[in-house]
Amino acid sequence: MHFELLAREKKYHGKIVDLIVDRLKYPSGTETIREIIEHPGGAVVVALFENNDLLLVRQYRHPFAKEVIELPAGKLDKGEDPLHCAQRELQEETGYASTEWKKLTAIYTTPGFCNEVLHIFEAKNIQQSGKGQALEEGEASIQLMRVPMNDALAMIERQEIVDGKTIVGILMSAGRQK
Amino acid sequence: MHFELLAREKKYHGKIVDLIVDRLKYPSGTETIREIIEHPGGAVVVALFENNDLLLVRQYRHPFAKEVIELPAGKLDKGEDPLHCAQRELQEETGYASTEWKKLTAIYTTPGFCNEVLHIFEAKNIQQSGKGQALEEGEASIQLMRVPMNDALAMIERQEIVDGKTIVGILMSAGRQK
């Protein structure tokens, strides 16, 4: 893409996201703006019990003002290794741990306007760690769900699971088990 | 989720996104903020040739300052029906059209901080419409790619396709063809 970056301005510096507005000029001379949401990225866990049942979480999501069913996930701390984040979030959100980790992929959630990258891992043979959950106050309503893989696939078809990262993680993990 | 909404402020009103900051109070008395990116949503097309090859687009994405391989997609105009948007975007971005449309799902791209919903459709037996592409200036670098479904699945495994909506669309469409 050929353009000239005329100006960059940080319009908002927030708790989770920053908002940047770039002013660009195309070779034709046309000027335009591009809004970029900056996000630290995160890690997502396809957490599987010994029989390959999935561990899902149902939690309130403020942008939709309703509960959404998702894989356990959370934001990267500054400089944090994605696998460490995945292990930490699984423990904190669910109280489960695993010793069998494998990376499935890393996705761009919405590359048109946001630089968020989510690293998706598969954790097998999860066990309760004994340390329990460590929920932030905003997560207090999290409910854990144990769901057989075939039921999860049906929930995707019925649009009961609609979270993008969750569908990617479940379908990629299911595809590898065939 | 039980909390009291103390205040809502629109911090930015933009071209593609708005940014809202809510101040909430939990029953414990703790106050917190929640940032919401408001996005109009969009439509995505799993566009299949008569032999089930996929039509993909490679385009520059400013938040990552590089080219990303995606399904054809675009934003909903105000009040636009998602299927109309899908048909319009397929025509404008690629010059192809179809008469066989089916909805696969609608996904939340990143529900922690953004209300974007993407409606994903499958279009079969796509044909060049004869009207050609109608690209916006920022899309002038779009390259079309015709990719056999098995190659697309391999590109997902090799992390050459990393866009979330694109992985969801391809895997859901591939799953139905089995």
Query: What are the φ and ψ backbone dihedral angles of B12, each rounded to 5 degrees?
Result: -155, 135
Phi first, then psi: what are they for A171, rounded to 5°?
-70, -35
A119 near B CB under 8 A: no
* Residues B118-133: tens digit of each pLDDT: 999 999 999 998 888 8
Q: Average pLDDT, stretch A56-61?
A: 96
Print pLDDT tens along chain B (178 aa).
678 999 999 999 999 999 999 999 988 888 999 999 999 999 999 999 999 999 999 999 999 999 999 999 999 999 999 999 999 999 999 999 999 999 999 999 999 999 999 999 999 999 998 888 888 776 777 999 999 999 999 999 999 999 999 999 999 999 877 5
Q: Does A167 touch chain B (CB under 8 A)?
A: yes
d(CA A126, CA A105): 20
SS3 B148: coil
HEC profile of chain A: CCCEEEEEEEEEECCCCEEEEEEEECCCCCEEEEEEEECCCEEEEEEECCCCCEEEEEEEECCCCEEEEECCEEECCCCCCHHHHHHHHHHHHHCEECCEEEEEEEEECCCCCECCEEEEEEEECCEECCCCCCCCHHHCCCEEEEECHHHHHHHHHCCCCCEHHHHHHHHHHHHHCC
Distance, in Å, from the CA atom of A12 to the CA atom of B148, rounded to the nearest integer, reads 43
Helix extents (H) in chain B: 82-94, 149-157, 164-176
Taking the C-alpha atoms of residue B69 and residue B56, their distance in angstroms, rounded to an integer, is 7
What gap in Å lies between CA B134 and CA B54, rounded to an integer? 20
- Give the C-alpha separation, A121 to A86, whole Å: 7
Cross-strand bridge partners of residue A20: A10, A36
User: Which alpha helices (DSSP H) does B15-68 contain, by range?
Assistant: none
CB contact under 8 A, A114 and B33: no
CA dist., res. B7 & res. B18, Å (int): 17
| B132-153 residue pLDDT tens | 888 877 677 799 999 999 999 9
Q: Which CATH architecture has domain A42-176?
A: Alpha-Beta Complex (3.90)
Question: For testing the chain A interface, which of B70, B167, B172, B177 should be mutated: the one with the most A CBs within 10 Å?
Answer: B167
CB contact burial B76-100 (16+ within 10 A = b; e otherwise) = beeebebeebbbbbbbbbbbbbbee
State the pLDDT at residue B141. 78
Q: Is B14 on the interface with A (CB under 8 A)?
A: yes
pLDDT tens, A118-156?
A: 999 999 999 998 888 888 776 777 999 999 999 999 999
Confirm or reject contact between A163 and chain B (CB < 8 A). yes
Domain range summary for chain B, segments of one domain joined by + = 4-38, 42-176
- Cβ within 8 Å, pair A62-B171: no
Other Cβ atoms less than 10 A from the Cβ of A148: the count is 13
Of the candidates A16, A34, A167, which has its C-beta nearest B113's C-beta? Answer: A16
Cα–chain center distance at B66: 17
Give the tens place of pLDDT for each residue, A94-114.
999 999 999 999 999 999 999
Per-residue pLDDT, averaged over A19-37, amounts to: 93
